[in-house]
């Protein structure tokens, strides 16, 4: 899944993006165990969802371009409450796509996070039209508004 993430996002070549590694995964799980969710079968993981619960001021700084994705993650620290949720990554292996797996996995993770935190909105920085459509479907199903950071051209 890390190899697929590198192919899709090319994070190592973009200083704005979060370069997901074991330390980042550990930090996300400290924020909330459901921040890192996956589905797997006997062959290994086929769906991977990363969510970052955070605060409204950090979300607004990220959406306006004042914070990079890396800085958003770095500045989000475990705390008593988060009110926003960043849909950081949703990846599904090609042979498992178009079955609603990413949406279902994300919705279950969001449900678990909302049990602890009063999440009022979702936000996303989509890299593909499919990612944008998936984020919109997740937000609709979760009953939360979706805010989007545009890509620089």
Residue 17 placed within a domain: yes
Residue 50 placed within a domain: yes
Residue 118 placed within a domain: yes
CA 51, 6, 128: angle at the middle one, nearest 5? 65
Residue 153 placed within a domain: no
pLDDT in tens, 5-38: 445 444 456 667 787 778 888 999 999 999 999 9
Residue span of the structural domain in which 71 resides = 2-148
- CA distance from start to end of the chain: 27
Q: What does the DSSP 8-state code read for residue 150? A: P
Residue 94 placed within a domain: yes
Residues of the chain with pLDDT under 70: 1-15, 152-153
> What's residue 9's pLDDT?
46
8 A C-beta contact, residue 49 and residue 35: no
Total domains in the fold of the chain:
1
What CATH number has the domain bearing residue 121?
Answer: 3.40.630.30
């Amino acid at each position: 899944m890390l190899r697929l993430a590198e192919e899709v996002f090319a994070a190592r070549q973009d200083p704005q993006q979060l370069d997901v590694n074991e330390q980042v995964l550990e930090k996300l799980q400290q924020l909330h165990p459901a921040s890192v969710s996956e589905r797997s079968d006997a062959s290994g993981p086929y769906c991977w969802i990363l969510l970052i619960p955070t605060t409204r001021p950090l979300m607004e700084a990220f959406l306006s371009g004042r914070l990079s994705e890396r800085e958003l993650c770095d500045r989000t620290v475990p705390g008593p409450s988060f009110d926003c949720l960043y849909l950081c990554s949703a990846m599904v292996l090609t042979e498992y796509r178009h079955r609603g797996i990413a949406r279902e996995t994300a919705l279950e993770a969001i449900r678990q996070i909302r049990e602890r935190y009063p999440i009022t909105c979702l936000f996303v920085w989509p890299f593909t039209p499919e990612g944008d459509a998936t984020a919109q479907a997740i937000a609709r199903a979760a009953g939360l508004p979706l805010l989007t950071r545009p890509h620089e051209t």
